[in-house]
Amino acid sequence: MSTLAHHYSDVPTQLPSGCEIGAVLEREEPRDALVIKAGRKPCRIEDLPKGAVIGTSSIRRTAQVALKYPHLRVQDVRGNVGTRLSKLDAEDGPFDALILAAAGLIRLDLGDRINQYLDSKNGGMLWAVGQGTIGIENRSPDERVQRTLELVDHHETHLAIATERSLLRTLEGGCSAPLGVETAWVERDDGQKALNIKSIVVSTDGKENCEIDMTEIVKSKQDAELFGINAASELLRRGADKILAEIKAKKPTTVADLEEK
């Protein structure tokens, strides 16, 4: 076997020795999605009534809901997408809505269930590192395979994801950290294209948080690595170290506790 394809949000920030990500496909849909119980009037997360119950298994989403929407309740929900939707739509079920990765719904031809795409401008919630992206892992060095993978690599996506992963790696947060990111390519006043990254670290109860919004010119993987380190350093300077230390002290011990769907 020469290559493996991964949902990039599931790939550890430290790969095994002798392996590397040789290509990243163009990012699909990185945002989270709000899904309302079937038969209910469509609405946005901002419009859900006090006490409404949102289902998610993600610490990141739970923390951001607690921060932005303290009047809402969050309840754990498990299973694949179909199982979760069945639990949502059950007449006697506890859930009023779910938050899921939009890309997963779209891949399963369930995009019509999406009531709202969530991002910094809509709902105020940021996505997971690598979300909505396929990464291709290969052995290194293998020049023949690397040349082939270059044909499918999407350069801008690769650099954006490399920046996100560098930030996460520097924070040593792992998939259990309530860390949200949002990256976008923007044009600066001087006409040069640059990468903007927004990121937030939130305590699990939503009572403490720190945020950044930074833009840098990123032309290479080395640039991306440095930008991620600088972004993480700024988060740490603003208090992320304290938040993450408290979370690590309560670190979950099972794979299920780290689930991010």
Name, in order, each residue with C-beta under 8 angstroms of 7's C-beta and a sequence gap of 6 or more: 130, 133, 134
CB–CB of 101/114 below 8 Å? Answer: no
Q: Is the pLDDT assigned to residue 226 strictly greater than 90?
A: yes
Residue ranges per domain, the chain?
3-28+129-251, 32-118
Q: Which of the residue ranges 8-17, 19-28, 195-204 would you say has the lowest mean pLDDT?
A: 8-17
Q: Is the pLDDT assigned to residue 139 strictly greater than 90?
A: no
Q: What is the mean pLDDT of residues 130-138?
A: 93
Per-residue pLDDT band for 1 (boundaries 50, 70, 90) equals: low
Q: What's the angle, vertex CA 137, arms to CA 178 and CA 232, rounded to 5? A: 30
- The DSSP annotation for 190-220 comes to TS-EEEEEEEEEE-TTSS-EEEEEEEE---S
pLDDT digits (tens, 9 = 90+) for 5-16: 988 888 887 888
249: which 2 tokens?
């002290």
Q: What is the mean pLDDT of residues 102-123?
A: 97
CATH H-level superfamily of 32-118: Periplasmic binding protein-like II (3.40.190.10)
pLDDT digits (tens, 9 = 90+) for 172-194: 755 567 899 999 999 998 989 99
Residue 211 class from Cβ within 10 Å (0-12 exposed, 13-18 middle, 19+ buried)?
Answer: middle
Per-residue pLDDT band for 235 (boundaries 50, 70, 90) equals: very high
Strand-pair partners of 91: none
pLDDT digits (tens, 9 = 90+) for 55-66: 999 999 999 999
* Domain 3-28+129-251: top CATH class: alpha beta
- Global pTM value: 0.89
Per-residue pLDDT band for 197 (boundaries 50, 70, 90) equals: very high
How far apart are alpha carbons 169 and 158 in whole angstroms? 16
Inter-helix orientation angle 155-171/221-235, to 10°: 40
Q: What integer pLDDT is reported at residue 174 of this predicted model?
A: 55
39: which 2 tokens?
């038969």
Q: What is the mean pLDDT of residues 109-130?
A: 97
10: annotated active-site residue: yes
CB–CB of 22/154 below 8 Å? Answer: no
Selecting among 10, 47, 213, 257, the annotated active-site residue is 10
Q: What is the mean pLDDT of residues 86-110?
A: 97
Q: What integer pLDDT is reported at residue 256 of this predicted model?
A: 38
How far apart are alpha carbons 240 and 253 in whole angstroms? 22
CB–CB of 231/167 below 8 Å? Answer: yes
Distances (CA, A) of 60 to 99, 128, 177, 204: 11, 8, 7, 8
Q: What integer pLDDT is reported at residue 257 of this predicted model?
A: 42
Per-residue pLDDT band for 261 (boundaries 50, 70, 90) equals: low
pLDDT digits (tens, 9 = 90+) for 48-92: 999 999 999 999 999 999 999 999 999 999 999 999 999 999 999
